Amino acid sequence: MRLHKLLAALLLSMLVLPLPAGAAAKKAAPLTVGDKGWKVKSVQMKLNAIGVKTPETGKYTKDLAEQVRDFQRKNRLKVTGQVDDNTYYRITESAFEKEGIHGVSGRDIVRTASRYKGVPYSFGGTTPRAFDCSGYVQYVFRQHKAALPRTADLQYEKGMFVTQRQLLPGDLGFFTTYEPGASHVGIYAGQGMFWSATSSGGVRLCSLRENYWRTRYYGAKRVLVPDSGQRSYR
């Protein structure tokens, strides 16, 4: 199965537009001229990722509408200049193929993550002497020559949204802890478990079913682009 078909299968099972954790999964109205906010900025960021130069202002301008029309024409979509479900799916798919991390196995990421079990926690830590949560995640991925931003909130801006049911080893799970939004991150290991640098126990294997994490769960992102041999996103 070709990569774009695999990505499409994942996208069709996801929300139309990335919603904050806890928001209802309902059909969103198309984005159009005059709209503004984080949803518009998300579209602008993804267009820039695929080489369509547009200011990331969060404002849906006439110029942006024309760029969307051009994208729709090239991708054989209904040409409206509005970002509806299908257009957002295709923009997200294209951006993920460009921006996502290629050639790295989620299982390999998990194996590397497990090597640092017991490393103590230190806020701001980025080395095996001591890690904080995002420093740990960034360091693990760096061992595979894969770059991620330094902080949890910026890591949350990367990749594609997935549900808990869709989680695969190597995906990133985010939590709301010391401040609102994505303020803690871990590496999903499979079977409801994830590796994380925690202030209470350093680097350890945690469970999404633990009350602490279950009640603070914010969302998950996939940053590893699956190869053409991977058949399942579940």
d(CA 111, CA 88): 34
Residue 212 inside a domain? The answer is yes
Residue 228 inside a domain? The answer is no
d(CA 188, CA 172): 6
Residue 232 inside a domain? The answer is no
Say whether both 116 and 26 belong to one domain: no
Q: Is the pLDDT of residue 232 over 60?
A: no
Say whether both 127 and 192 belong to one domain: yes
d(CA 181, CA 170): 21
Q: What is the CATH number of the domain that holds 70?
A: 1.10.101.10
CB 77 within 8 A of CB 87: yes
d(CA 196, CA 201): 9
d(CA 133, CA 152): 8
Q: Which of 99, 126, 148 is the last residue of a domain?
A: 99
Residue 41 inside a domain? The answer is yes
Say whether both 149 and 77 belong to one domain: no
Say whether both 123 and 199 belong to one domain: yes
Say whether both 112 and 92 belong to one domain: no
Q: Which of 70, 99, 128 is the last residue of a domain?
A: 99
Q: What is the CATH number of the domain that holds 164?
A: 3.90.1720.10
Q: Which of 83, 99, 115 is the last residue of a domain?
A: 99
Q: Is the pLDDT of residue 5 over 60?
A: no
pLDDT of residue 156: 93
Q: Is the pLDDT of residue 52 over 60?
A: yes
DSSP letters spanning 106-139:
HHHHHHHHHTTTTPPB-TT-EETTEE-HHHHHHH
Say whether both 113 and 211 belong to one domain: yes
Say whether both 114 and 216 belong to one domain: yes
Q: What is the pTM of this model?
A: 0.75
Q: At which residue do the structure tokens 């049911």 appear?
A: 165
Tell me what the mean pLDDT of segment 11-18 comes to. 41
Q: At which residue do the structure tokens 């009640």 appear?
A: 215
Q: Tens digits of per-residue pLDDT, 165-189?
A: 999 999 999 999 999 999 999 999 9
Residue 158 inside a domain? The answer is yes
Whole-number mean pLDDT of the chain?
88
Residue 130 inside a domain? The answer is yes
Say whether both 194 and 164 belong to one domain: yes
Q: Is the pLDDT of residue 129 over 80?
A: yes
Say whether both 129 and 195 belong to one domain: yes
Q: Is the pLDDT of residue 234 over 80?
A: no
Output 229 or 220, whichever has higher pLDDT: 220
Say whether both 115 and 94 belong to one domain: no
Contacts of 216 (CB under 8 A, 6+ apart): 175, 176, 177, 184
Lowest mean pLDDT among 18-32, 46-60, 115-129: 18-32
DSSP 8-state class, residue 151: S
Confidence of residue 3 (pLDDT cuts 50, 70, 90): very low
Structure tokens at 47: 């267009």
pLDDT of residue 69: 98
Lowest mean pLDDT among 11-20, 68-77, 121-130: 11-20
Residue 234 inside a domain? The answer is no
Tell me what the mean pLDDT of segment 47-64 comes to. 96
CB 153 within 8 A of CB 182: yes
Q: Is the pLDDT of residue 195 over 60?
A: yes
Say whether both 117 and 77 belong to one domain: no
Residue 233 inside a domain? The answer is no
Q: Is the pLDDT of residue 4 over 60?
A: no
Lowest mean pLDDT among 3-12, 15-24, 57-66, 148-157: 15-24
pLDDT of residue 17: 41
Provide the residue range defining the domain that includes 7: 3-99
Domain count, the chain: 2
Structure tokens at 12: 């069709």
pLDDT of residue 209: 97
d(CA 234, CA 145): 26
Say whether both 110 and 131 belong to one domain: yes
Confidence of residue 56 (pLDDT cuts 50, 70, 90): very high
* 191: number of Cβ within 10 Å: 9
* Helix runs in 61-117, H state only: 62-74, 85-99, 106-114
- Rounded to 10°, the helix 133-142/106-114 angle is 120
